[in-house]
Structure 1
Amino acid sequence: MLNRFLDAVADRLAKEWLVIGAQSLVFWAGGFAAVAWGTGRSPVDRLHALAPGAQALFASAALLAFVLSGAAVRRLTPVVLTFLEGYGWPGRLRRYGTARQEARRHRLRERWERLHAALGGAAQPVAPDTYDAFVRTDAALRRIPGAPERQLPTWVGNTLRAAELRPYQKYGLDAVKCWPHLWLVLPAEARDQITRARAALDSAVSALIWSTGFVVWTPWAGWAAPVAAVAATAVYHGALRRPCAVLADLLEASYDLHRTALYTALRWPLPTDPAHERESGRLLTAYLWRGSDAPVPVFTSSPDAPEPH
């Protein structure tokens, strides 16, 4: 859900448009190769056989197709990302995917408990492989919400959903409701890192769209379909997961490091201990979402207010 806000407010980096242009170029170059393979004649040879006026018209149409296809993929990217998260799936497919994610979480939990017991009860130094396995298992388990009803049917969706839920679990702050306010008080460097992480995720999603779309060249070359399948699989598992995990970690870290800036900007009293912070965070979330006419808590003095004499 936070991705929708980021897509609306984050500046589009020039590098992102260059990446989309490069992806579009690869797609169309591969398409011309597929047409040449299927017809036995290069599109360039066909172009040379045309009259000069027809050549100019064909070149203009090709340039227009190149530009419009890039713009279309850019517009589709947030829609496809939302779908990859698991939103909008049909009921049966969503239940099937969610059940698989819950089964995976159960397996990871059992493995985590075994490894945790081995680490805690070992009389001798633990083997590096055992420790590494515990770290990987713990990291994977954090990518899945613990409550089945909060889970989504995909790895991408659960990774981002878990990051959205953790500020509430730790601090009582609803990440989605508080995010626009926190965004405005984040340091420029933090906003820049989050924007770049989102841009990297967008680039991976657009690469997935181009890879899947390569199947349209199948009528001219039968190898286009398996190439599309292999490329899409490689992009999803190799290029998309890492920026998704980085973005999730940055979103969570924003609350870890800068939530006090939100309290200060709203003149809300800072929590005094972790238990108090959860309750204070829930009250602050309700205040931002609905407002309040309660006499407590009492606002703190503005940091810019003059000192009383």
Structure 2
Amino acid sequence: MSGFWSGLTGKLAERWLTLLVLPGAFYLAAATTAHTLGWGHALDLHRLTTVVTTRTKNPTATTTGGQIVLLAATLAGAAAAGLAAQALTSVVERLALAGDWQTWPRPLRTIAEQRTNRRRQAWTTAHTSYHQLLAAAEARVVADDAQHPPTEAELTVVRDERYAAYRKWFRIGPEKPDRPTWSGDRLHAVTVRLDRDLHLHLPIVWPYLWTVLPEPTRNDLTTARTTLTKATTLTAWALLYLPLTLWWWPALPLSAAIALTGWRRTRTTTDTYAQLLEATTRLHLTTLAAQLGIPHTGAPTPALGDTLTHHLHTQPPAPSPH
């Protein structure tokens, strides 16, 4: 038992150090630099070194008690900054995934609705253009093939045009947009595809499916979801660095670089998590059916999706006769 508690304590300390203290300490260093140098001496390293050296030679800071207090204050400040970033992460993730944007207060809901409509119109245009190009390319190949076989160069041009149109379409969203952000639509696309292909309502089935998944698969899903949260945490840190711009202009490019990194990682990790979520559902749906005693052989079918959704859906109570 003592080994279990020591291992648990070690893991908690490691997570506390990695998630809170280290990023928070870097933030405190940036804040101290901003307060020390200001706009007028933003890149004056000599001035920064001189001020820091002078402060460390202060008699209070050279005593053992003073150093202990300074270390404790630094750790507390770093942890506080880390906790602020963690709290802000939930807000950033809610904005990035936008699953409940229709319940947001105005004017956020109005902005989200306008952005969703713009994305939907752009997606419809790109989707139509892709299929028109695909049909025209196929017709041209068939017409050329009736007279003479198309050359490899001609086929390459057709493929390149089609691939360029597909990339333009997918950059907007894999399915018709329903949310104001790409990451939100990427996750929503999983539900849309499963409903279209298998008649499966994922929010109803997923809690039951999770319980029958093998441990390695659940670990992979948990890791992917944690990685997505860490990506949005970067954006949260960028928002915390932004106010430092009032005292120190280099905080602006620093905040922008962190925000750009967080944005790119959020898109990448969301795509990875969505792919894993959809693949897991398709691969283990028959396992859930077997656990529930629903007879089925072969790959999942729309009939199985209908059956599972209806079987697991909680029916509302019947109206009172009075």
TM-score of the aligned structures, taking structure 1 as reference length: 0.76
1:162 to 184, 189, 193: 189
Contact 2:239 / 2:255 at 8 angstroms: preserved in 1?
Answer: yes
Aligned mates of 1:174, 1:48 — CA distance in 2: 66
Contact 1:211 / 1:231 at 8 angstroms: preserved in 2?
Answer: yes
Residue 58 of structure 2 corresponds to which residue in structure 1? 49
Aligned mates of 1:268, 1:33 — CA distance in 2: 65
2:74 counterpart letter in structure 1: A
Residue 282 of structure 1 corresponds to which residue in structure 2? 306
Aligned mates of 1:283, 1:229 — CA distance in 2: 49
Q: Deviations over 1:250-287 (max 9, x none)?
A: 1111122111111111111227787xx32442332132
Contact 1:20 / 1:203 at 8 angstroms: preserved in 2?
Answer: no
1:232 aligns with 2:232: no
Q: Deviations over 1:40-90 (max 9, x none)?
A: 544564343251445433331210121232234334433421221223443
1:250 counterpart letter in structure 2: L
**Compared CA separation, residues 200 and 118, structure 1 to 2 (3 A):** farther
Q: Deviations over 1:145-184 (max 9, x none)?
A: x3x6xx0111111111111222121111111111111111
2:134 to 116, 119, 123: 116
Any residues of structure 2 matched to 1:24-63 within 5 Å, and which?
24-38=24-38, 40-41=47-48, 42-43=51-52, 45-49=54-58, 51=60, 52=63, 53-63=65-75
1:69 to 81, 88, 98: 81
Contact 1:25 / 1:66 at 8 angstroms: preserved in 2?
Answer: yes
Residue 247 of structure 1 corresponds to which residue in structure 2? 273
Contact 1:31 / 1:217 at 8 angstroms: preserved in 2?
Answer: yes
1:84 to 96, 99, 119: 96
Contact 1:164 / 1:251 at 8 angstroms: preserved in 2?
Answer: no
Give the greater-gyration-radius structure (CA).
2
| Structure number having the greater helix percentage | 2
**Compared CA separation, residues 23 and 106, structure 1 to 2 (3 A):** farther
**Compared CA separation, residues 134 and 261, structure 1 to 2 (3 A):** farther
- The offset of 1:241, in angstroms, is 0.9
Q: Which runs of 5+ in 2 are unaligned?
A: 1-11, 42-46, 142-149, 317-322
Contact 1:271 / 1:280 at 8 angstroms: preserved in 2?
Answer: no
Aligned residues, how many? 274
Is the partner of 1:218 in helix, strand or coil?
Answer: helix
Aligned mates of 1:17, 1:265 — CA distance in 2: 42
1:130 counterpart letter in structure 2: E
Contact 2:134 / 2:162 at 8 angstroms: preserved in 1?
Answer: no
Contact 1:201 / 1:244 at 8 angstroms: preserved in 2?
Answer: yes
1:126 aligns with 2:156: yes
Q: Deviations over 1:172-227 (max 9, x none)?
A: 11111111111111222222221221121111111111112101322331232343
1:185 aligns with 2:212: yes
- The offset of 1:134, in angstroms, is 4.9
Q: How well do the aligned residues superpose, as a CA RMSD in angstroms?
A: 3.1
1:256 to 254, 271, 282: 282
TM-score of the aligned structures, taking structure 2 as reference length: 0.73
Once the two structures are overlaid, the 10-residue window that deviates more, 175-184 or 99-108, is 99-108
**Compared CA separation, residues 22 and 110, structure 1 to 2 (3 A):** farther
**Compared CA separation, residues 185 and 135, structure 1 to 2 (3 A):** farther
Residue 301 of structure 1 corresponds to which residue in structure 2? none
Q: Deviations over 1:100-132 (max 9, x none)?
A: 221221232133213422542342323353353
Once the two structures are overlaid, the 10-residue window that deviates more, 192-201 or 40-49, is 40-49
2:238 counterpart letter in structure 1: S
2:118 to 71, 79, 100: 100
Contact 2:205 / 2:312 at 8 angstroms: preserved in 1?
Answer: yes
Q: Which runs of 5+ in 1 are unaligned?
A: 1-11, 293-309
1:203 aligns with 2:230: yes
2:200 to 173, 176, 188: 173
**Compared CA separation, residues 192 and 165, structure 1 to 2 (3 A):** same
Once the two structures are overlaid, the 10-residue window that deviates more, 98-107 or 42-51, is 42-51
Aligned mates of 1:178, 1:234 — CA distance in 2: 34
1:223 to 242, 250, 253: 250
